[in-house]
Amino acid sequence: MKFEEKDIASLLGNILDNAIEACQKCQAKRVIKLQLLYYNQALVLKSENSTDGLVRDLRTRKKNQAEHGLGMKGVQVIVDRYNGDWDYDIEDKYFRIEVTLWEPRQGFS
Protein backbone atom coordinates (compact mmCIF):
# COMPACT_ATOMS: atom_id res chain seq x y z
CA MET A 1 0.00 0.00 0.00
CA LYS A 2 1.18 3.52 -0.73
CA PHE A 3 -0.18 5.20 2.39
CA GLU A 4 2.20 7.04 4.69
CA GLU A 5 2.74 4.97 7.83
CA LYS A 6 2.43 8.05 10.05
CA ASP A 7 -0.99 8.81 8.56
CA ILE A 8 -2.32 5.31 9.18
CA ALA A 9 -0.84 5.30 12.70
CA SER A 10 -2.40 8.70 13.47
CA LEU A 11 -5.77 7.66 12.07
CA LEU A 12 -5.84 4.43 14.05
CA GLY A 13 -4.47 6.15 17.16
CA ASN A 14 -7.13 8.86 17.17
CA ILE A 15 -10.00 6.48 16.58
CA LEU A 16 -8.82 3.90 19.11
CA ASP A 17 -8.01 6.54 21.76
CA ASN A 18 -11.54 7.86 21.45
CA ALA A 19 -13.02 4.36 21.62
CA ILE A 20 -11.00 3.47 24.72
CA GLU A 21 -11.96 6.73 26.44
CA ALA A 22 -15.64 6.16 25.63
CA CYS A 23 -15.52 2.60 26.96
CA GLN A 24 -13.87 3.74 30.18
CA LYS A 25 -16.99 5.79 30.94
CA CYS A 26 -19.29 2.78 30.46
CA GLN A 27 -20.79 1.00 33.42
CA ALA A 28 -22.19 -1.80 31.28
CA LYS A 29 -20.59 -3.99 28.62
CA ARG A 30 -17.50 -2.45 27.00
CA VAL A 31 -16.90 -3.29 23.36
CA ILE A 32 -14.49 -2.06 20.70
CA LYS A 33 -14.66 -3.55 17.22
CA LEU A 34 -12.13 -2.57 14.57
CA GLN A 35 -12.09 -3.71 10.99
CA LEU A 36 -9.58 -2.79 8.28
CA LEU A 37 -10.12 -3.81 4.70
CA TYR A 38 -7.94 -3.07 1.69
CA TYR A 39 -9.81 -3.49 -1.56
CA ASN A 40 -9.53 -1.98 -5.03
CA GLN A 41 -6.82 0.51 -3.99
CA ALA A 42 -8.83 1.76 -1.03
CA LEU A 43 -8.35 1.28 2.68
CA VAL A 44 -11.61 1.08 4.62
CA LEU A 45 -11.52 1.40 8.39
CA LYS A 46 -14.63 0.63 10.40
CA SER A 47 -14.78 1.05 14.14
CA GLU A 48 -17.61 0.58 16.61
CA ASN A 49 -17.50 1.07 20.35
CA SER A 50 -19.84 1.22 23.28
CA THR A 51 -20.52 4.52 25.05
CA ASP A 52 -22.25 5.60 28.23
CA GLY A 53 -25.19 6.85 26.19
CA LEU A 54 -24.31 10.51 26.74
CA VAL A 55 -22.38 10.98 23.49
CA ARG A 56 -24.40 13.22 21.17
CA ASP A 57 -21.76 14.74 18.88
CA LEU A 58 -18.01 14.87 18.24
CA ARG A 59 -17.23 17.50 20.88
CA THR A 60 -14.97 16.54 23.73
CA ARG A 61 -16.44 16.15 27.20
CA LYS A 62 -13.14 16.99 28.92
CA LYS A 63 -13.11 20.03 31.17
CA ASN A 64 -10.36 21.88 29.31
CA GLN A 65 -11.82 21.77 25.82
CA ALA A 66 -9.24 24.20 24.44
CA GLU A 67 -6.44 21.68 25.04
CA HIS A 68 -8.32 18.47 24.29
CA GLY A 69 -10.38 17.25 21.41
CA LEU A 70 -11.52 14.06 19.85
CA GLY A 71 -8.78 14.05 17.21
CA MET A 72 -11.35 14.36 14.46
CA LYS A 73 -9.62 17.38 12.95
CA GLY A 74 -6.60 15.13 12.46
CA VAL A 75 -8.80 12.45 10.95
CA GLN A 76 -10.24 15.02 8.53
CA VAL A 77 -6.76 16.15 7.45
CA ILE A 78 -5.75 12.56 6.67
CA VAL A 79 -9.03 11.83 4.86
CA ASP A 80 -8.54 14.95 2.73
CA ARG A 81 -4.94 13.97 1.95
CA TYR A 82 -6.12 10.72 0.37
CA ASN A 83 -9.27 12.09 -1.30
CA GLY A 84 -11.30 9.92 1.02
CA ASP A 85 -14.43 10.30 3.04
CA TRP A 86 -15.72 9.45 6.47
CA ASP A 87 -18.98 9.22 8.27
CA TYR A 88 -20.09 8.44 11.78
CA ASP A 89 -23.24 7.41 13.57
CA ILE A 90 -24.20 7.72 17.23
CA GLU A 91 -26.99 5.41 18.29
CA ASP A 92 -28.11 4.77 21.86
CA LYS A 93 -24.95 3.45 23.51
CA TYR A 94 -22.82 2.88 20.40
CA PHE A 95 -20.55 5.02 18.28
CA ARG A 96 -19.62 3.95 14.76
CA ILE A 97 -17.17 5.50 12.33
CA GLU A 98 -16.18 4.48 8.82
CA VAL A 99 -13.22 5.98 6.97
CA THR A 100 -12.26 5.33 3.35
CA LEU A 101 -8.86 6.38 2.01
CA TRP A 102 -7.94 6.05 -1.66
CA GLU A 103 -4.42 4.92 -2.36
CA PRO A 104 -2.49 7.66 -4.17
CA ARG A 105 -1.70 6.83 -7.78
CA GLN A 106 1.80 7.26 -9.06
CA GLY A 107 2.15 10.57 -10.89
CA PHE A 108 -0.94 12.07 -9.24
CA SER A 109 -1.23 14.08 -6.04
Strand order in the sheet with 42-50: 32-39, 42-50, 94-102, 85-91
Q: Residues 49-61: pLDDT tens digits?
A: 998 877 655 555 5
Domain covering 5-102 assigned CATH 3.30.565.10 in the classification: yes
At residue 53, the pLDDT reads 76
The residues spanned by each domain of the chain are 5-102
pLDDT at 62: 58
* Three-state DSSP state, 5: helix
- The DSSP element (H or E) to which 78 belongs, if any, is helix 72-81
For all residues of the chain together, what is the average pLDDT? 85
